[in-house]
């Protein structure tokens, strides 16, 4: 039954645009208006298998393409993305919902990552080191691994695919990419531009569809030795379990419950700006979002009043409209989850200071809009202070001093981002050392990671890997140690020690 005139899209496998084997489809809709933006193949294990076969075959040639040449394709991709930055940002405001300046920032992260990893094509450094024996040469080199399964979320629909696909490619791997079902249009555009940049057929393949069918098959497929996933903690644990029999390389980027600490000596104007940006930017749908604010006694009341005022001034609306600060959340189930936490917080005895409701009227009724929400008098153990909400909700917690603030900040299962506003250099350095997180900001909010530094977290945020920066190369390569003996005789390491 055709109820829409929206354009239909296909999977990209082995350089060909193809429908799902089942012929089934799903729609992508704007979270701001409900408008259907495109129709996509609902793929199954058969489609994944075809894509993996194509990627496996392409790997044999791609791994031998000199790394600087692979990097040049990423440079071309970065340039194409830069040429189309405004258009892709518009598409993102429509399909994912974030406001235009943030959408442009998302695209910019991908441009930066492509150039950074493009340059890596001329580095990919290994080590040379002396041998313990005469006339012998030792070195270590990075080697590609094979087919990488890339599973990405909807909240950074261009940036996060680039964090995974750009390093995977420059290292010489091939890719099967499953974008989130909430943002297939942006995933599709990403791959179209890669193909236009000159990525050979089969080197990057896209298979649309849900985690249950497509994601699960990728994770279990014996010919996919690497899986990189950004998603929820629950999904991450399931992926690790399902991949265990094949001993895959699993790179996981999971949740956060990030806190901003504000001490009595902080620049309060700056802290308020940092909190509003980190808590309500992208409607709080970042794994780095500030969903807790830990405030010292002396400034607690003042900070609370200022935050409530600032939150109430934020304008909600479709991301592409001028003057809009906060766009919709991604879908109905996100809206329901966010609102359920408002009920949970109230039930736990936290004080609802502002927000706490679905926003409607004034052009908002067809979308998934939620008022920026602040809870006060939150106890650090409450669920609103412990669990990832992934929406525009933050919890204010009162503490006596910096030591208590750091303890509260650390008292969660996650460890992604952290922040402290203070003018005391000694306190700042102690916090840099003691905050249990992969990222710490001093006098800035919890968001704003740059692509040339490692990105990731400790504890329940991941499994010890990092993406972005040099650290990403460890996910997408294996080390090989090479010993070259040019003595012409059999020298025995650890035995011929006296020469």
- Output Rg (C-alpha) for the chain, integer angstroms: 24
According to CB under 6 A, which residues from 287 to 316 bind ligand UN1?
287-288
Q: Out of 263, 275, 437, 447, name the contact with ligand UN1 by CB under 6 A.
A: 447
Query: Does residue 461 interact with ligand UN1 by CB under 6 A?
Result: no
Cα-Cα-Cα-Cα dihedral of 423, 427, 433, 439, to 10°? -30
Find the part of the chain contacting ligand UN1 (CB under 6 A) among 45-53, 312-320, 375-383, 442-450. Answer: 442-450
413, 460 in Cβ contact below 8 A?
A: yes
Annotated catalytic residue 287: yes
Supply angle C-alpha 465, 468, 474, rounded to 5: 45
Cα-Cα-Cα-Cα dihedral of 254, 257, 263, 268, to 10°? 90
According to CB under 6 A, which residues from 199 to 238 bind ligand UN1?
230
Annotated catalytic residue 253: yes
Distance CA 471, CA 220 (A): 25
Pairing of strands 351-354, 373-376: antiparallel
Q: Report the nearest approach of ligand UN1 to the CB of residue 382 (Å).
A: 23
How many residues sit close enough to ligand UN1 to count as binding (CB under 6 A)? 10
Query: Does residue 155 interact with ligand UN1 by CB under 6 A?
Result: yes
Q: Report the nearest approach of ligand UN1 to the CB of residue 394 (Å).
A: 15
Distance CA 346, CA 157 (A): 33
Instruction: Name beta bridge partners: 17.
Output: 12
Instruction: Considering the complex, state which of residue 299 and residue 435 has its C-beta at the smaller distance from ligand UN1.
Output: 435
Instruction: Considering the complex, state which of residue 121 and residue 231 has its C-beta at the smaller distance from ligand UN1.
Output: 231
Query: Does residue 164 interact with ligand UN1 by CB under 6 A?
Result: no
Give the active site residue among 102, 287, 388, 467.
287
Instruction: Considering the complex, state which of residue 202 and residue 456 has its C-beta at the smaller distance from ligand UN1.
Output: 456
Q: In what order do the strands lie in the sheet with 174-178?
A: 16-18, 11-13, 204-206, 174-178, 147-151, 226-230, 249-253
Find the part of the chain contacting ligand UN1 (CB under 6 A) among 76-84, 319-327, 441-449, 477-485. Answer: 441-449
Instruction: Considering the complex, state which of residue 289 and residue 364 has its C-beta at the smaller distance from ligand UN1.
Output: 289
SS3 content of the chain, % helix, strand, coil (to 5): 40, 20, 40
Q: In what order do the strands lie in the sheet with 290-296?
A: 351-354, 373-376, 393-399, 290-296, 258-262, 417-421, 439-442
Query: Does residue 186 interact with ligand UN1 by CB under 6 A?
Result: no
Instruction: Considering the complex, state which of residue 215 and residue 225 has its C-beta at the smaller distance from ligand UN1.
Output: 215
Instruction: Considering the complex, state which of residue 174 and residue 278 has its C-beta at the smaller distance from ligand UN1.
Output: 278
Give residues with Cβ within 8 angstroms of 239, minimum separation 6.
151, 215, 219, 227, 229, 250, 252
Which of 46, 2, 7 is CA-nearest to residue 28? 7
Query: Does residue 394 interact with ligand UN1 by CB under 6 A?
Result: no
Give the active site residue among 95, 109, 253, 388.
253
Query: Does residue 448 interact with ligand UN1 by CB under 6 A?
Result: yes
Query: Does residue 156 interact with ligand UN1 by CB under 6 A?
Result: yes
Which residues in this chain contact ligand UN1 in the complex, by CB under 6 A?
A: 109, 155-156, 230, 286-288, 447-449
């Amino acid at each position: 039954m055709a109820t829409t005139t929206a354009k239909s899209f296909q999977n990209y496998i082995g350089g060909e645009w193809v429908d799902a084997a089942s012929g089934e489809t799903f729609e992508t809709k704007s979270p701001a208006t409900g408008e259907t933006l495109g129709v996509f193949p609902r793929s199954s294990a058969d489609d994944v298998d075809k894509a993996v076969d194509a990627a496996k075959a392409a790997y044999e040639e791609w791994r031998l393409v000199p790394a600087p040449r692979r990097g040049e394709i990423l440079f071309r991709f970065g340039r194409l993305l830069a040429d189309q930055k405004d258009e892709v940002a518009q598409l993102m405001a429509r399909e994912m919902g974030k406001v235009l300046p943030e959408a442009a920032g998302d695209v910019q992260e991908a441009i930066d990552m492509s150039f950074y990893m493009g340059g890596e094509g001329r580095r990919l450094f290994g080590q040379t080191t002396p041998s313990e024996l005469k006339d012998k040469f030792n070195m270590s080199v990075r080697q590609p691994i094979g087919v990488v399964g890339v599973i990405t979320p909807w909240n950074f629909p261009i940036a996060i695919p680039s964090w995974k696909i750009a390093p995977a490619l420059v290292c010489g791997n091939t890719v099967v990419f499953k974008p989130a079902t909430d943002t297939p249009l942006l995933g599709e555009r990403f791959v179209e531009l890669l193909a236009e940049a000159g990525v050979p057929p089969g080197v990057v393949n896209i298979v649309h569809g849900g985690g249950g069918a497509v994601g699960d098959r990728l994770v279990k497929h014996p010919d996919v030795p690497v899986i990189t996933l950004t998603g929820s903690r629950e999904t991450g644990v399931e992926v690790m379990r399902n991949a265990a029999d094949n001993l895959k390389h699993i790179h996981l980027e999971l949740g956060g419950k990030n806190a901003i600490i504000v001490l009595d000596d902080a620049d309060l104007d700056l802290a308020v700006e940092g909190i509003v940006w980190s808590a309500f930017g992208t409607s709080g749908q970042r794994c780095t979002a500030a969903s807790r604010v830990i405030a010292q006694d002396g400034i607690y009341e003042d900070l609370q009043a200022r935050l409530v005022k600032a939150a109430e001034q934020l304008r909600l609306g479709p991301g592409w409209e001028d003057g809009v600060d906060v766009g919709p959340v991604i879908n109905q189930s996100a809206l329901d989850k966010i609102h359920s936490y408002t009920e949970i917080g109230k039930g736990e005895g936290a004080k609802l200071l502002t927000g706490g409701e679905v926003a409607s009227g004034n052009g908002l009724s067809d979308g998934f809009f939620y008022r920026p929400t602040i809870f006060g008098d939150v106890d650090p153990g409450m669920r609103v202070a412990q669990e990832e909400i992934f929406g525009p909700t933050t919890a204010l917690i009162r503490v006596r001093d910096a030591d208590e603030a750091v303890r509260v900040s650390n008292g969660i299962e996650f460890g992604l981002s952290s922040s402290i506003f203070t003018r005391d250099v000694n306190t700042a350095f102690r916090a840099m050392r003691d905050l249990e997180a992969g990222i710490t900001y001093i006098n800035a909010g919890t968001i704003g990671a740059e692509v040339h530094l490692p990105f990731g977290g400790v504890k329940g945020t991941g499994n010890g890997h990092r993406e972005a920066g040099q650290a990403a190369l460890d996910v997408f390569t294996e080390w090989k140690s090479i010993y070259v003996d040019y003595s012409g005789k059999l020298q025995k390491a650890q035995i011929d020690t006296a020469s």
